[in-house]
């Protein structure tokens, strides 16, 4: 499969770097090991360091699904580094106690993660002086794309430029219409199957309710081939909704295992069932498990982040989208976080820290989005507010399609996007080499 071959085509080495748990206070003195993957096979002196700002999952997962960086390394004689996000994969600040309480998980913030990356790169260059003349280009998809944008904003001394792919930087309360996410999901299905598709899905919701009411939940569990019975009716709806969203996010022109094993163009209306069957077949138990982590992402860590600084309102009106109407209430959300984790979100903070829609000073940054990616609802789609950045839109593109390795089935649109991105990165590298960028190292 495409993803596994990426690993064998571009082998990397696994290493560790010591980080402070808290970069911004001197109260605690704990340190932990951050995992990173590195490949220097293609690197030549002066060539860039292509750096992935890891997001919510095991870092290998992103390395195996970001073939574009390995292809760029070849073109640009670059090194490739994937840094793992703290509290994910093997980068647990307090080992098995990392999620114990807020005194442990409280350091799971974007600021701390970016400080990890900045300190790591700075120390890496000082310890490996052959890279002192290597500009760092940052890459990230989804939350990783948000991190890449913020990385360039906060540390332009470290990062010469960045590709923020499918980055919903405006997912925060008060920054976007909370209905957008489901509206774009609906658009993806409408484009694939027309209005008939939308009305069919709407019918399914009431049909499921009817079956559950008439024949019981067990019969629905049988229909869905679930490993254990659905716990309740709401769960079935939530599960099915999430499944449809996953198909939209991973609606790539070829079979991929990024968010579960899926066929090419899984959203295509007639292939719903095929997608589903393949999805179940690829599971270990040959039945549908909703207990495990089918998406390779760590839902626990991310849920915590939404309860601290990454709160993301999503709602639907049931009219402009194909889902059941649902509201989002900030007080309710905050109370739920308090009950579940003993912490309340600071909903306004990300806007202060990461500039909300005041992005006039941003330069050498690309915001790319697929038009059919649900997350594009919170992304930068117009150049107006980011005059110094580049906005790339990929027609029929799903969730950070551009970051994936090239594939014979790739659309003309994504090929063009990758080519444009490559040109921009090239120009940043050239500009960086024309400027003086004195390395800052302590030599004692």
Q: Mask of contacts with a second copy, 75-104, x by CB under 8 A?
A: ---------------------------xxx
| Stretch of 75-83, 111-119, 211-219, 293-301 contacting a second copy, by CB under 8 A | 111-119
Q: Is 412 in the site for a second copy (CB under 8 A)?
A: no
Q: Is 357 in the site for a second copy (CB under 8 A)?
A: yes
Residues 126-145 that bind a second copy (CB under 8 A): none
Q: Is 26 in the site for a second copy (CB under 8 A)?
A: yes
Asked if 142 is an active-site residue, the reply is: yes
Q: Is 435 in the site for a second copy (CB under 8 A)?
A: yes
Nearer to a second copy, 276 or 378 (CB): 378
Give the C-alpha separation, 213 to 235, whole Å. 14
Q: Return the residue of 8, 11, 25, 214 that touches a second copy, per CB under 8 A.
A: 25
Where helices occur in 57-142 by DSSP H, the ranges are 59-63, 67-76, 102-105, 110-127
Q: Return the residue of 19, 22, 56, 84 that touches a second copy, per CB under 8 A.
A: 22
CB-CB neighbours of 437 under 10 Å: 12
Q: How far is the CB of 223 from a second copy (least distance, A)?
A: 40
Q: Return the residue of 358, 406, 423, 430 that touches a second copy, per CB under 8 A.
A: 358
Catalytic residue among 61, 399, 400, 424: 399
Q: Is 318 in the site for a second copy (CB under 8 A)?
A: no
Give the C-alpha separation, 246 to 328, whole Å. 21
Give the C-alpha separation, 243 to 232, whole Å. 17
Q: Return the residue of 169, 176, 308, 394 that touches a second copy, per CB under 8 A.
A: 308
| HSE-up (13 A, CA, CB side) for residue 161 | 25
- Residue 271's contacts (CB-CB under 8 Å, 6 or more residues apart) are 263, 265
Q: Mask of contacts with a second copy, 155-194, x by CB under 8 A?
A: xxxx--------------xxx-------------------
Q: How many residues bind a second copy (CB under 8 A)?
A: 63
Q: Is 46 in the site for a second copy (CB under 8 A)?
A: no
Taken in order 178, 242, 408, 58, the sign of the CA dihedral is positive
- Residue 139's contacts (CB-CB under 8 Å, 6 or more residues apart) are 50, 51, 52, 53, 66, 68, 69, 148, 162, 163, 165, 403
- Residue 114's contacts (CB-CB under 8 Å, 6 or more residues apart) are 53, 147, 150, 151, 154, 155
Catalytic residue among 134, 138, 142, 316: 142
E-strand stretches of 142-190: 161-165
Q: Which helix (H) or strand (E) holds 370?
A: strand 365-370
Q: Is 107 in the site for a second copy (CB under 8 A)?
A: yes
The residue ranges that bind a second copy (CB under 8 A) are: 20, 22-29, 102-109, 111-112, 115, 118-119, 122-123, 154-158, 173-175, 308-309, 330-331, 343, 346-349, 351-353, 355-361, 363, 384-385, 435-438, 440-444
Catalytic residues: 142, 373, 399
């Amino acid at each position: 499969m495409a993803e596994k071959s990426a690993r064998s085509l571009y082998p990397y080495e696994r290493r560790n770097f010591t980080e402070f748990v808290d970069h911004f206070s001197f109260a605690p003195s704990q340190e932990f090991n951050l995992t990173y993957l590195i490949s220097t096979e293609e690197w030549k002196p002066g060539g860039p360091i292509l750096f992935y700002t890891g997001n919510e999952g095991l870092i290998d997962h992103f390395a195996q699904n970001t073939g574009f960086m390995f292809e760029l390394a070849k073109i640009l004689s670059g090194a490739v580094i994937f840094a793992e996000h703290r509290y994910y994969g093997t980068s647990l600040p307090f080992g098995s106690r990392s999620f114990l309480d807020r005194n442990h998980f409280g350091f799971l913030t974007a600021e701390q993660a970016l400080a990890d990356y900045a300190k790591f790169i700075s120390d890496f260059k000082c310890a490996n002086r052959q890279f002192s003349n290597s500009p760092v280009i940052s890459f990230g998809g989804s939350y990783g794309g948000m991190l890449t944008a913020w990385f360039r904003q906060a540390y332009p001394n470290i990062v010469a430029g960045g590709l923020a792919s499918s980055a919903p930087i405006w997912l925060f309360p008060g920054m976007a219409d909370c209905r957008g996410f489901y509206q774009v999901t609906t658009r993806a299905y409408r484009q694939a199957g027309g209005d008939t598709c939308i009305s069919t899905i709407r019918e399914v919701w009431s049909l499921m309710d009817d079956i559950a009411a008439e024949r019981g939940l067990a019969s629905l569990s049988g229909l869905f081939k679930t490993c254990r019975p659905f716990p309740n009716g709401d769960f079935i709806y939530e599960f099915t909704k999430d499944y449809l969203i996953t198909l939209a996010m991973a609606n790539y022109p070829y079979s991929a295992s990024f968010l579960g094993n899926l066929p090419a163009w899984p959203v295509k209306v007639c292939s719903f069932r095929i997608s589903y069957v393949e999805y179940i077949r690829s599971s270990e138990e040959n039945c549908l498990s909703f207990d495990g982590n089918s998406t390779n992402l760590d839902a626990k860590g991310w849920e915590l982040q939404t309860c601290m600084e990454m709160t993301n309102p999503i709602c639907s009106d049931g009219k402009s989208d194909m889902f059941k109407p649902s509201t989002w209430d900030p007080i309710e959300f905050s109370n739920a976080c308090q009950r579940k984790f003993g912490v309340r979100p600071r909903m306004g903070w990300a806007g202060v820290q990461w500039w909300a829609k005041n992005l006039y000073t941003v330069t050498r940054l690309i915001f790319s989005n697929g038009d059919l990616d649900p997350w594009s609802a919170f992304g930068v789609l117009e150049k107006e507010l980011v005059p110094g950045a580049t906005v790339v839109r990929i027609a029929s593109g799903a969730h950070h399609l551009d970051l994936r390795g090239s594939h014979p089935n790739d659309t003309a649109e994504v090929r063009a996007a990758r080519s444009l991105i490559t040109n921009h990165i090239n120009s940043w590298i050239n500009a960086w080499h024309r400027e003086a960028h004195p390395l800052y190292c302590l030599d004692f």
